[in-house]
């Protein structure tokens, strides 16, 4: 059984037991959360596609980590003008462990 969920403007294919990193969510480590924006649920040969979401479908997950991602270096440069700017960015992420898919 698997589902496709939407969170943080992105879509993720998840199965029970999976661990995914999503955009930062306002929850503490150890919290149980429910994701209700389920786009698709597939169970064997039966598939339900939502318009836009599958009704009464939820995905239960546990927050296992709040962390920052890898650093992305942004470098601006204009030739012949002595213009250089270097900037770094680290995105905040939340790691979720998928516990159960309720269809």
Convert the pLDDT of each residue in 40-61 to its tens digit: 999 989 999 999 999 999 999 9
* Pair 40, 46: CB distance under 8 Å: no
CA angle 79, 85, 87 (to 5 degrees): 145
The pLDDT mean for the chain works out to: 96
- Stated as kind and residue range, the H or E segment containing 87 is strand 83-89
Res. 103: pLDDT tops 90: no
> What is the value of pTM for the model shown?
0.85
Q: Give the residues across from 14 on adjacent strands.
A: 3
Task: Tell me what percent of the residues of the chain surpass a pLDDT of 90.
Answer: 98
pLDDT tens string 6-32: 999 999 999 999 999 999 999 999 999
Structure tokens at 7: 């969170």
| Structural domain harbouring 83 | 2-102
Number of domains the chain is built from: 1
Residue of 27, 3, 20 whose CA lies nearest to 96 = 20
Contacts 24+ apart (CB under 8 A), 83-91: 91/23, 91/24
Buried b (16+ CB within 10 A) or exposed e, 17-28: eeebebeebeee
DSSP structure class, residue 90 = -
């Amino acid at each position: 059984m698997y589902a496709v969920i939407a969170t943080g403007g992105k879509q993720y294919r998840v199965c029970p037991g999976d661990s995914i990193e999503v955009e930062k969510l306002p929850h503490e480590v150890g919290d149980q959360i429910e994701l209700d924006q389920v786009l698709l649920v597939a169970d064997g040969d039966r598939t339900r596609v939502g318009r836009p979401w599958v009704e009464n479908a939820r995905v239960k997950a546990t927050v296992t980590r709040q962390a920052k991602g890898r650093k992305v270096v942004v470098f601006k440069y204009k030739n012949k003008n002595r213009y250089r700017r270097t900037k770094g960015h680290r995105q905040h992420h939340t790691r979720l462990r998928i516990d159960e898919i309720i269809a």
